[in-house]
Amino acid sequence: MSAPEVHVQPYWELRFDADGDPDPRQLATLLREARQVRDLVVFAHGWNNDRSIATRLYDRFFAPFPALAPSASLGYVGVLWPSMRFTDERIPDFDPSAAATTTAAVPRTTLDKGTRQGLVEAFPRGEPVVDLLARRLEEQPESASAFDEFGGLVRQLVGVGPSVSGADTSEDGGPHSTPAMLHEDTRAVCLEFAAALETAAGPAAAATFRLPGGLAKAWKGAHELLRQATYFAMKRRAGKVGKAGLGPAIGRLAEEAPKVRVHLVGHSFGARLVSFALAGMPKPARNVKSVTLLQGAFSHYAFAGRGALKGRQARVDGPLVACFSRHDTALSVMYPLASRLAGDDRTLVDLGERWGALGHDGFQDVDGAVRFTLADVLRAGVPGAGCVSVDAAQVVRHGPPPSGAHSDICHAELARVVLGAGRVTK
């Protein structure tokens, strides 16, 4: 089945491989044709998309733009990069099979056919490992050694050595930013993930979501460990594609279409991708006029003095906006747990404060950063420069566990934020 059509025009697709190399024909077409527009909105999808779902996302998100800015000379780019989708996770609005489902479901243990195929595509040399992981999840062996083996297989699949440790503070995606979940006691980590899944479900769903005890509960958590480890690998990949791929492509655009104003938008790990594109842009390029990060799945300290993107907001000739929501349980519960320090025994609340995501509570410890509600910026406008945190919980609020509202981003109000941040003429 072909991907659905994106109805706004002109629209270009720009595909990158896992190393950040762009499709040469698509890039050449964009560089040749983009000069026909004044403002170019470039959107990168997140961690849980295949091409069909990414295209649906772009079609729905871009749909309000023409009516909101009828006099603007707008063009649109959908970035496609090789991220992994667990097909058993429902994505309302983007996945037709999930559109009518909003209630919690007990998490799976086994891998469905689509997820197994997705893992093989994401890790091309890992098919034998995927088969073994699927077998262990089906068999659920009653031994501690089985969990040790499972942890080793997960590390092998995502390319992490058994002794590499350290939490994700650097945000550089390198080998020294491995979450503790990949080197701690696997059975204990699986039990923690199982407990976190129940937490993410919330009180209203607790009766139907409650997991069994003992080994059965640990194997439920093992499925989540594989999911989170895969997302760690995709997070690392997003940074690489942004820095090595999209950043240089923006530089080429600045050379060949210097009058085009670029507005970067990223969702989830796509927010990380477009942020790292700022680090990969050649120094002369000044064509990025705004960046809007929607539910960014990377550290809220990334642009702070301790972060790998320190000072990169200066590469934006305009504001760097981070929209966040407390209803995003993927980022408020699962993300900080997966990114915790080795041996850290603090509560999830403490972990969220130290290892939280940008899409959970906005920029942290960034000099001059300001905070507003969505209503504030829709009424008074987005500041013209600097780091701006926008509490978007007013509209980003719906979605089932374990991700919650993480993908609830297709709203005209957020389209208005993008246009306002970019000073796009209506």
The string of DSSP codes covering 371-383 is EEEHHHHHHH---
- What pLDDT, on a 0 to 100 scale, did the predictor assign at position 52? 86
Quote the pLDDT of residue 337.
64
DSSP class of residue 299?
A: B
Look at residue 80 and give its three-state secondary structure. Answer: strand
Candidates 395, 390, 408; CA nearest to 329 is 408
**CA gap 307, 15 in Å, rounded:** 28
What is the residue type of 216?
Answer: A
CA proximity to 284, closest of 242, 247, 239: 247
pLDDT of residue 103: 42
Backbone angles phi, psi at 272, to 5 degrees: -65, -40
Which pLDDT does position 47 carry in this prediction?
A: 78
Predicted confidence at residue 143, as pLDDT, reads: 85
Average pLDDT, rounded, for the chain: 84
CB 403, CB 329: distance < 8 Å:
yes
SS3 track for 217-275: HHHHHHHHHHHHHHHHHHHHHHHHHHHHHHHHHHHHHHHHCCCCEEEEEEECHHHHHHH
CA-nearest of 354, 337, 385 to 231 is 337
Where helices occur in 281-404 by DSSP H, the ranges are 329, 335-338, 348-355, 358-361, 374-380
pTM: predicted TM-score of the whole model, two decimal places: 0.85
Segments of the chain scoring below 70 in pLDDT: 1-3, 49, 87-108, 161-180, 202-214, 333-334, 336-355
In 10 A of CB 124, how many CB atoms? Answer: 9
User: Would you state the pLDDT for residue 339?
Assistant: 61
Of 84, 83, 80, 20, the residue nearest 44 (C-alpha): 80
CA distance 20 to 23: 10
